[in-house]
Amino acid sequence: MNIETKSPVPGFDDSYTLALGLDTGPLSTDPYISPAHYELERERVFGRAWLAMGREEQVPESGSYIVRELEVCNASVLIVRQKSGGIQAFHNVCSHRQNLIMNSSEGRAPRFTCRYHSWTFGTDGALLSVPDERRFFDFDKKKCGLTPIATEVWQGWIFINMQSEPEVSLAEFLGDFGKFYTGVPFPGSGHSLKFEANLDANWKVISDAFAESYHVPSIHNKTLRPAFSNASNPFARPIRASAWGPHSAYSAFANLEYAPPENALGERLAYRNMGANNIISPSGANEIDKLLGHPSINPNNSAEWCSDANVIFPNFHLDVSFGGFFIHHFWPTSHRSTRWVAEYFMEPAADFQTRLQQEYYAIRNIEVLLEDIGNTERVQKGMETRAKRNIYLQDGEVIIRNLLHHIDRWIKADSAREALDL
């Protein structure tokens, strides 16, 4: 890191980038297009970092499970609620001939049976039964349980670590961000509006699309610009940026004067029970007020606040807006392809007016997300032309810079502990 960049630069007294001690120069496109760089990310970032996998509500009872494909680590992960109440992840791989055991992405089972030869495992991973067991040679069932994956839960979020013995605990990994966000409630965690797409773009191209608001007045000219910029902030500059080592956050600006236009009769119908501040949100439940009242949400207590985007290293965004919270996962499937999953959490509607509002929110979100992710494959193609070898980032794009800086750190560091400065 170049310390010199901390010195004042004319016109940049209020720079987030300088305040966070980051460089200000152009950045190489290599991390986005180089297969060799991707191999290093696989081994040194995804192979060593704690990875957010889901919510504990997704595995509510003993035997409830989810299966997640983790192409970037060549893993199929079976995450199971234990009889003891804890949550444990395993490789979804049979000890016999290594068939993948569970085929469905979620469910509940008292035990897990491989369809190939009916080897059966308990929810704790122990091998329970083997058909015609006595025809195996020197066989010790106790040694043939499922292979566990290190699992920890933070604030209801399930994380795994692919190191057989993680160098750092989840608390150490999340560091000061983990402390900052402790006690934040997550209302509506049991149900989400869920989107998924497989995109031909590096995972960071897609993460970057949700890590800055500079693009809002341009690409979201019709869908978001009126609510998220105005004459006082025409370029939708962020109203705050923070970093805690590799994790970072920015707060986006809200145009307080925004109200649905007079002739937007459908939009007004959707939000007819709501105050002006709740425009473009999925629900107005009381629990949302508890979330928004937490001191770590809109931490500067800005009146012109619309959302916080928390970028949890490496590939997880945990965002909060007036409507509640939403997440993005960016799962690499190759150096130039990604499975993107977004979930907007909301309670099932108790009445039709709420359901109508959720529908409007969902449809408008589809438009916004198509604008965002529709552009990512074009960015990837642009970078792959190699016409340019650098990208330029302005001050409002500081979160992208922080992510790239820390990916570089993790790739160069001999250990996760060193990368985290522990």
Instruction: Write out the residues near other proteins by the rule CB under 8 A.
Output: 191-199, 219, 222-223, 260-261, 263-267, 269-270, 282, 346, 348-353, 355-356, 358-364, 366-367, 369-371, 373-374, 377
Tokens 């001050």, residue? 395
Nearest to 314 by CA among 188, 392, 184, 409: 409
The amino acid sitting at 238 is P
Nearer to other proteins, 154 or 360 (CB): 360
Q: CB 382 → other proteins: shortest distance, Å?
A: 15
Two tokens, residue 305: 């606040």
Beta bridge partners of 371: none
Q: CB 222 → other proteins: shortest distance, Å?
A: 6
Q: For the chain, how far is it from start to end, CA to CA, in angstroms?
A: 17
Report H helices in 7-95.
16-19, 30-33, 35-40
- Give the span between the Cα atoms of 419 and 144, in whole angstroms: 35
Q: CB 358 → other proteins: shortest distance, Å?
A: 4
- 3-state SS track over 170-188: HHHHHHHHHHHCCCCCCCC
Q: CB 305 → other proteins: shortest distance, Å?
A: 23
Q: CB 300 → other proteins: shortest distance, Å?
A: 30
- Give the span between the Cα atoms of 163 and 43, in whole angstroms: 10
Beta bridge partners of 329: 316, 341
Contact call for residues 289 and 283 (beta carbons, < 8 A): no
Contact call for residues 396 and 321 (beta carbons, < 8 A): no
Burial class (CB in 10 A: 0-12, 13-18, 19+), 183: exposed
Contact call for residues 291 and 184 (beta carbons, < 8 A): yes
Nearer to other proteins, 29 or 376 (CB): 376
Q: CB 24 → other proteins: shortest distance, Å?
A: 31
Q: CB 60 → other proteins: shortest distance, Å?
A: 16
Nearer to other proteins, 27 or 369 (CB): 369
Nearer to other proteins, 63 or 190 (CB): 190
> Strand order in 111-113's β-sheet?
111-113, 120-122, 127-129
Nearer to other proteins, 26 or 266 (CB): 266
Q: CB 320 → other proteins: shortest distance, Å?
A: 19
Q: CB 348 → other proteins: shortest distance, Å?
A: 4
Nearer to other proteins, 337 or 394 (CB): 337
- Give the span between the Cα atoms of 90 and 292, in whole angstroms: 35
Nearer to other proteins, 319 or 371 (CB): 371
Q: CB 362 → other proteins: shortest distance, Å?
A: 5
Contact call for residues 181 and 188 (beta carbons, < 8 A): no
Nearer to other proteins, 26 or 348 (CB): 348
Nearest to 259 by CA among 283, 235, 282, 275: 275
Nearer to other proteins, 319 or 343 (CB): 343
Nearer to other proteins, 113 or 353 (CB): 353
Write the DSSP symbol of residue 286.
H
Contact call for residues 183 and 67 (beta carbons, < 8 A): no
